[in-house]
A and B are shown apart, each in its own frame.
Chain A
Amino acid sequence: EVQLVESGGNVLQPGGSLRLSCAASGFTFDDYAMHWVRQAPGRGLEWVSLISDDGGSTYYADSVKGRFTISRDNRKNSLYLEMSSLRTEDTAMYYCTKEAGYSTFYYAMDVWGQGTTVTVSS
C-alpha cells in the first residue's frame, strides 16, 4: 500500500523554527518528486514546495521563499520541510504529497498523507 505519514507538527511562537518529516512507503521513493501543500483552518489549499526525485531541484511558493527549505533522504524514503521565521499566517495543516508523474514529468499529486498541524501563536 502506498502511504505517506507526516510528523513534527507543533504549537510554537512567531519567529520560531520547526522541522516536518514525511515517511514514504509502498513505492519507489527516488523515482518521484514530492510536494508539501498546506491548508489554513477553514481555508483552501496552498501549494508550498516541490523537490525533484533526486533532490537536485527545489521550488517554493513566494509566501515561504527564504524561510522554508524542502529536502529529502532517498536512503530513508523520507521528505522534510525545515520551517524558520514562522509567522501566524503559517498556521495550517501541512500535507506531504507524491507527484503522480514519473521522474521529471510533473502533472498532479496522486497520494496525500493525513497531514500534520502547525500552529504559530503568541
Chain B
Amino acid sequence: DIQMTQSPASLSASVGDRVTITCQASQDINNYLNWYQQKPGKAPKLLMSAASNLETGVPSRFSGSGSGTNFTFTIISLQPEDIATYFCQQYDGLPPYTFGQGTKLQIK
C-alpha cells in the first residue's frame, strides 16, 4: 500500500502569513493527490483534487502543487476562518486511498 507522510503535524501562524504543508508519497502517484480541510467538530471538506485543482467555491488563497512523490499545499495569506486540520490523500489506481496524518493549523 502507498504511504503518505504529511508534515508538519501542527503549525501556528499569524493572520496574513503564508502557510505551507507538505505531503510525500511512498511511491510515484502522478498527480493523484487531494487535499481536505476539517474544521473542529465537522466533517472533512474536499478543497483540491489532482494536486492543484481547486473545488468550486474554494478561495483562491489556497493552492497546491507537485507531482510524483512530493506535494505542497499553500495558503497564501492565512485568514482566521482557515483554522482547521488539513489532510492529503492519494488516489492512485485502486484502493486503499490512504490519507496523510494531518496538519493542525492554529493562529498564533
Does chain A bind chain B?
A: yes
Residues of A with Cβ closer than 8 Å to B?
A: 35, 37, 44-47, 50, 59-62, 95, 100, 106-110, 112-115
In the complex, what's the smallest C-beta–C-beta distance from A110 to chain B, in angstroms?
5
- A35 nearest CB neighbor, chain B only: B97
Residues of B with Cβ closer than 8 Å to A?
A: 1, 32, 34, 36, 38, 43-46, 49-50, 55, 87, 89, 91, 94-102
A-B pairs, top 6 by smallest CB distance, nearest first, are A112-B43, A59-B95, A108-B49, A45-B99, A44-B102, A108-B34
Is B102 in contact with A108, judged by CB distance below 8 angstroms? no
- A112 with B102, Cβ < 8 A, contacts A47-B95, A61-B96, A107-B91 known: no
Which residues of B are found within 8 Å of A108, using beta-carbon distances?
A: 34, 46, 49, 89, 91
- A63 nearest CB neighbor, chain B only: B96
Is A100 in contact with B95, judged by CB distance below 8 angstroms? no
- A109 nearest CB neighbor, chain B only: B46
Which residues of A are found within 8 Å of B102, using beta-carbon distances?
A: 44-45
> CA of A44 to CA of B89 in the docked complex: distance in angstroms?
11
Is A44 in contact with B87, judged by CB distance below 8 angstroms? yes
Which residues of B are found within 8 Å of A37, using beta-carbon distances?
A: 44
Is A44 in contact with B101, judged by CB distance below 8 angstroms? yes
Which residues of B are found within 8 Å of A61, using beta-carbon distances?
A: 95-96
Task: Offer 25 A-B interface pairs, CB within 8 angstroms, sorted by A.
Answer: A35-B97, A44-B87, A44-B99, A44-B100, A45-B38, A45-B44, A47-B89, A47-B95, A47-B98, A47-B99, A59-B94, A61-B96, A62-B1, A62-B96, A100-B49, A106-B91, A107-B34, A107-B91, A108-B49, A108-B91, A109-B44, A110-B46, A112-B43, A112-B44, A115-B43
Which residues of B are found within 8 Å of A112, using beta-carbon distances?
A: 43-45
- A114 with B43, Cβ < 8 A, contacts A44-B102, A108-B34 known: yes
Which residues of A are found within 8 Å of B36, using beta-carbon distances?
A: 45, 109
> CA of A50 to CA of B100 in the docked complex: distance in angstroms?
18
Which residues of A are found within 8 Å of B55, using beta-carbon distances?
A: 110
> CA of A37 to CA of B89 in the docked complex: distance in angstroms?
12
Which residues of A are found within 8 Å of B50, using beta-carbon distances?
A: 107
- B90 nearest CB neighbor, chain A only: A47
